[in-house]
């Protein structure tokens, strides 16, 4: 039993090179400037000593949790309870 499936072909609007691409017209210039500034700030942070210290600390924490999983779980539970108390509605 064969069925015919209707096919609808949509015409593709060719983009004129003089027109702005869709992504450019989506964001105003101010938002692009903010994005560029944040990107530059992240790049400079990634090259700083603070980033290296943070990455080393993260590695140390991962190793500690692998060696002491019960204490790591208790620390996470305590931190979650503390944040819950701080962020709850009064």
In a domain, 1, yes or no: no
pLDDT at 55: 93
pLDDT at 60: 95
In a domain, 75, yes or no: yes
- Residue span of the structural domain in which 39 resides: 30-87
In a domain, 3, yes or no: no
Number of domains the chain contains: 1
- Nearest-angstrom CA–CA distance, 46 and 39: 11
pLDDT at 18: 57
In a domain, 59, yes or no: yes
DSSP the chain: ---PPP--PPPPPPPPTTSPPHHHHHS-HHHHHHHHHHHHHHHHHHTSHHHHHHHHHHHHHHHHHHH-HHHHHHHHHHHHHHHHHHHS--
Whether the Cβ atoms of residue 78 and residue 85 lie closer than 8 Å to each other: no
In a domain, 53, yes or no: yes
pTM: 0.49
pLDDT in tens, the chain (90 residues): 677 777 667 666 655 555 555 555 566 888 888 988 999 999 998 988 999 999 999 999 999 999 999 999 999 999 999 999 999 877
pLDDT at 31: 86
In a domain, 14, yes or no: no
In a domain, 18, yes or no: no
């Amino acid at each position: 039993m064969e069925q015919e499936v209707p096919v609808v072909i949509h015409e593709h609007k060719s983009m004129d090179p003089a027109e702005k691409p869709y992504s450019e017209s989506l964001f105003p210039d101010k938002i692009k400037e903010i994005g560029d500034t944040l990107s530059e700030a992240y790049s400079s942070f990634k090259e700083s000593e603070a980033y290296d210290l943070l990455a080393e600390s993260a590695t140390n924490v991962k190793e500690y949790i692998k060696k002491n999983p019960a204490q790591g779980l208790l620390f996470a539970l305590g931190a979650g309870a503390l944040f819950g108390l701080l962020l709850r509605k009064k």
